[in-house]
Structures are given as structure tokens and as C-alpha cells.
């Protein structure tokens, strides 16, 4: 049975603002890192060599709702779930929790792209072996 990927972070000082709480922009870097870690856990890379080119995942949408303040040195549990697998795109939902309290929920849509040696992007259908691995964290 598939379930969200779970990881944990301690909030760094550099990620907090003058109000003493985690800056809104920092949630996106935590989401990105958690997603990349999830991909590694299923044997993938966000920059996957494929012959002469690379398969990568540029983002076309990123949102986050903030429900409670997060502070320096808080321990946050981050879950990463695949909530939609399209033909070329994947939508991830990230839940941030302190203990059992949800403090933020973010979503990111990434598009499967072939990246050539001139860094040109061309969207492609998600290859079957990659799709199969992504479904391991589908909900």
C-alpha cells in the first residue's frame, strides 16, 4: 500500500525573520528538499541521466497555506504525497507538522522534461518506470 514519504527537519536560524518565525519563502526550500529526498528514497533523481540528455522536473506551480507559526529550532515533520499523476505532470502535497499540529500545507506541480546540453526544456510523458516509483507515495 502506498503512503506519503516522511522526513524531519530542525528549523535553521537563517530561515526565520525579524518576527522570530519561519519566513514564508523558506517553506518552499524545505518542500523542494523533501521532494528530492523522497525521489532518492525510491531510486530516482530529480536530475536523472537518460542517454545523452537528462530528465528533470521544472516547477509550474507552487503554493503554501500557513496555519501556525514555526520558530528557530522547532522540529518539523514533513510529509510528501503524490496527489495527482498526469501524463506529464506530478502534483505533490507537503504537510508540515509540529508534534501532531499541522502548521503549513503546500502544493507543487512539476513537469517531466527532457533537458538537453543547452539547458533547453521539452516536456515529455512521464516514463513508465518513473511513474511506477512515484506511485509508491501516491495517496
Ligand X SMILES: CC(C)(COP(=O)(O)OP(=O)(O)OC[C@H]1O[C@@H](n2cnc3c(N)ncnc32)[C@H](O)[C@@H]1OP(=O)(O)O)[C@@H](O)C(=O)NCCC(=O)NCCSC(=O)c1cc(O)c2ccccc2c1O
Residues that bind ligand X (CB under 6 A): 32, 46-47, 56-61, 86-89, 109, 111, 113, 121, 123
What is the edge-to-edge ordering of all strands in the sheet holding 113-115?
47-50, 53-56, 113-115, 121-123
100 is catalytic: no
Q: How far is the CB of 18 from ligand X (least distance, A)?
A: 26
From the number of C-beta atoms within 10 Å of its C-beta (0-12, 13-18, 19+), residue 124 rates as middle
Instruction: Give me the catalytic one of 15, 17, 100, 117.
Output: 17
Q: How far is the CB of 59 from ligand X (least distance, A)?
A: 4
Measured CA to CA, the distance from residue 130 to residue 76 in angstroms comes to 28
Q: Whose Cβ is closer to ligand X: residue 57's or residue 96's?
A: 57
Local structure of 120: helix, strand or coil: coil
Q: Whose Cβ is closer to ligand X: residue 58's or residue 68's?
A: 58
Q: Whose Cβ is closer to ligand X: residue 83's or residue 109's?
A: 109
Catalytic center residues: 17
Amino acid at each position: 500500500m502506498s503512503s506519503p514519504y516522511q522526513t524531519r527537519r530542525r528549523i535553521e536560524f537563517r530561515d526565520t525573520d525579524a518576527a522570530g518565525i519561519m519566513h514564508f519563502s523558506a517553506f518552499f526550500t524545505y518542500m523542494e528538499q523533501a521532494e528530492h529526498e523522497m525521489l532518492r528514497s525510491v531510486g530516482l533523481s530529480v536530475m536523472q541521466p537518460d542517454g545523452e540528455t537528462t530528465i528533470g522536473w521544472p516547477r509550474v506551480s507552487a503554493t503554501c497555506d500557513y496555519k501556525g507559526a514555526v520558530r528557530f529550532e522547532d522540529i518539523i515533520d514533513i510529509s510528501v504525497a503524490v496527489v495527482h499523476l498526469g501524463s506529464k505532470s506530478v502534483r505533490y502535497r507537503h504537510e508540515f507538522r509540529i508534534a501532531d499540529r499541522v502548521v503549513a500545507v503546500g502544493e507543487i506541480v512539476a513537469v517531466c522534461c527532457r533537458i538537453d546540453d543547452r539547458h533547453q526544456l521539452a516536456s515529455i510523458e512521464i516514463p513508465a518506470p518513473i511513474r511506477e516509483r512515484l506511485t509508491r507515495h501516491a495517496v
